[in-house]
Amino acid sequence: MAAAEGTSETQNSETESPKLSELLDRGWKLFEEVDSTNEPTGSNPIQVKVKRGILHLEEATRMVAQLDLFSRNEELEEIATADLKYLMLPALLGALTMKQVNMAKRLEQVQRARVYFLDFLKRCKDYNIMKFELPKTNDNSDDTSEDAGNGPSPSFKPPDLIAMATQRQAKIERYKQKKETEAKLSEIKSIVESGQAEDEVVRDFYLLTVRRWITIALEEIESIDQEMEILKKMDVLKQNPPKPSQSRPPMKPFILTKDAVQARVFGAGYPSLPTMTVDDWYEQHRKHGVLPDQGIPRSAADIDNEEREKEEKERQIENDDEEALQKARDWDNWKDTHRRGYGNRKNMG
């Protein structure tokens, strides 16, 4: 009998739905595990944790809506300290949604995450938790685009330098606030987690956490807007792919010069393309008789000079010119005692 009662109590505890605080703690813990892990975000274990965390936080969000914990008509001081942490639900949902990896539904995921972050910022703006400007919503951007479409559209719109400087200054201020908030959180986090902190310390801890996530949500929305623009352009390209270029025959090589005469005089600046085959070159040189086996043709002037020198030598020998005869004998004697090429220092012989 006692065993049966124990079994029934166990079954009732298992079927009993978790409390609101348990759902938030589970979802928050899963987000911290996913955010601090070194494993790839697209891995199966990480994606399982992301889905589980989203389910816990969505269930907690439904319970908060049913309990009507927050209202625009109340002030921040009217919210109980234990209920402040539930302001974090939309921000955690947006952060976990950004951790999902599915390129086929990426645009839908980032749009959903933007809705979560914007809902979180609106609620914080209603309670005046921190001074900041809400990002533009899609409705405002649509109205602006319609007004621009009705009016004359300028061909070139110069950048608004004042707005750019204001945005830059706002980013610097947010960065400083984020660093100060993180430093304060690190000081009191251990006290709050120990369960021995006073109510004021716990309240400050939750408010500091909400302020830190305000800066994170603003940064995330900026990056989401940029990613959405890229994803929309990718969808347009997928729906209207560019037509493949028609194949054209290869162009003949040509020379680009300032003047055709300049090209003929100075050349193109690089080796010219071949104009004949090796066989054509051989046949052309064979016809002119300038191949090695045909000898090198000599000009008529060279032939006449050689014949004139021979005739002069023969005439001198016939006339018994002593000087010419002595020179010829000396040359013959020198050739008998010296080998061919002797004294040719240019060839280093």
User: Per mean pLDDT, which range of 89-93, 178-182, 217-221, 266-270 is the poorest?
Assistant: 266-270
- Report the pLDDT value the prediction gives residue 65, as an integer from 0 to 100: 92
Which pLDDT tens digit goes with each residue over 101-141? 988 899 999 999 999 999 999 999 999 998 888 888 765 44
**Residue 129 CB partners (closer than 8 Å, separation 6+):** 76, 207, 210, 211, 214
- Is residue 15 predicted with pLDDT exceeding 80? no
What separation, in Å, do the N-terminal and C-terminal C-alpha atoms of the chain show? 127
What's the predicted TM-score (pTM) here?
0.60
- Give the C-alpha distances (Å, rounded to integers) separating 79 from 69, 74, 313: 8, 8, 135
Q: CA geometry: angle at 321 spanning 317 and 322, to 5°?
A: 115
DSSP string, 102-143: -GGGHHHHHHHHHHHHHHHHHHHHHTT-S--PPPPPHHHHHH
- Report the pLDDT value the prediction gives residue 216, as an integer from 0 to 100: 92
Q: Which residue has the higher pLDDT, 162 or 12?
A: 162
**pLDDT confidence band for 298 (50 / 70 / 90):** low
Residues 142 and 224: their CA atoms lie apart, in Å, by: 17
**pLDDT confidence band for 284 (50 / 70 / 90):** confident
- Is residue 278 predicted with pLDDT exceeding 80? no
Closest C-alpha among 60, 70, 76, 92 to residue 203: 76
Q: How far from the centroid of its chain's Cα atoms is residue 48's Cα? A: 29
Provide the sign of the torsion angle of the four alpha carbons 128, 132, 138, 140, taken in this order. positive
- Report the pLDDT value the prediction gives residue 44, as an integer from 0 to 100: 93
98 neighbors 113 (Cβ within 8 angstroms)? yes
**Residue 56 CB partners (closer than 8 Å, separation 6+):** 23, 24, 26, 27, 30
DSSP string, 237-270: HHHSPPPPPPP-PPPPP----S-HHHHHHH--SS
284-290: average pLDDT:
78
The pLDDT > 90 percentage for the chain reads 35
- Residue 19 three-state SS: coil
Q: Tokens 């309240």 — which residue?
A: 203
DSSP string, 176-232: HHHHHHHHHHHHHHHHHHHT---HHHHHHHHHHHHHHHHHHHHHHHHHHHHHHHHHH
Average pLDDT, the chain: 78
Q: Which residue has the higher pLDDT, 93 or 277?
A: 93
